[in-house]
Amino acid sequence: MVPLVQGYSTEMSQEVTSLGVQVHGGMGFIEETGAAQYYRDARILTIYEGTTAIQANDLVGRKTARDGGQQALALAARIEVTERELREQGGDNAQATAQCLGAARKAFVDAVEFIVAQSKTNPNAVYAGSVPYLMLAGNLMAGWQLSRALLAAEKQLATGNEAAFMQAKIAVARFYAEHILPRTASLREAIVHGADSVTALALEAF
């Protein structure tokens, strides 16, 4: 999880704080709202937490390929348990979230299998997709935790405890599942099919 915390979270902070500026429009870009300050402060995070590519290389090499994908696949199995719990819990929000989580988990498993299969014979192809793999794994793990939050929030809601807060938790989890988790499909494509174009240009071309 360390590369995901330091790499994925910090990459997402760029997107979130950039959107914060966008939401405030011109007022966001100038200094009055404070939104630009968050964006500027976030910009260093992907560098001083260890750069994204270095975190991604660690995730591919030491955290995934070294044990033949065992830990990664064990996490996927735990995610599958959450999918089952969502389906058993029932209700539109849980069902929709289970479906998106399942698709994202499958994309992750495909990426892990690609990495394990290619890491010895074709390491360049594996490392070419390291940042997309970091983002895929991070997206999935975040979606998994939000799914668990949805499960907990629905149980609390049934008791009438802090209803508005619980409804917000559920809505955020479903939004993430339907709008952010599907990114894993395109990241999977980039990882599994995109290696050649990364290394296509000769060094002299730079």
121: helix, strand or coil: coil
Question: By CB under 6 A, how many residues form the interface with ligand FAD?
Answer: 9
Rounded to the nearest whole angstrom, what is the least distance from the CB of residue 57 to ligand FAD in the complex? 6
Contact between 119 and ligand FAD by CB under 6 A: the answer reads no
122: helix, strand or coil: coil
Number of other residues whose CB lies within 10 A of the CB of residue 49: 18
- Span interacting with ligand FAD, options 46-54, 90-98, 174-182, 188-196, rule CB under 6 A: 46-54
Contact between 44 and ligand FAD by CB under 6 A: the answer reads yes
Contact between 51 and ligand FAD by CB under 6 A: the answer reads yes
Contact between 47 and ligand FAD by CB under 6 A: the answer reads yes
Residues 59 and 137: beta-carbon distance below 8 Å: yes
**Does residue 49 carry a catalytic annotation?**
yes
Contact between 57 and ligand FAD by CB under 6 A: the answer reads yes
Contact between 48 and ligand FAD by CB under 6 A: the answer reads yes
Q: What is the DSSP letter of 2?
A: H
1: helix, strand or coil: coil
How many degrees, rounded to 5, is the angle at CA 120 between CA 2 and CA 126? Answer: 55
Residues 145, 71: Cα–Cα separation, whole Å: 17
Residues 79, 109: Cα–Cα separation, whole Å: 11
Q: Which of 11, 15, 49, 189 is catalytic?
A: 49
- Span interacting with ligand FAD, options 49-57, 156-164, 167-175, 187-195, rule CB under 6 A: 49-57
Residues of this chain that interact with ligand FAD (CB under 6 A) are 44, 47-48, 50-54, 57
Q: Which residues form the catalytic set?
A: 49
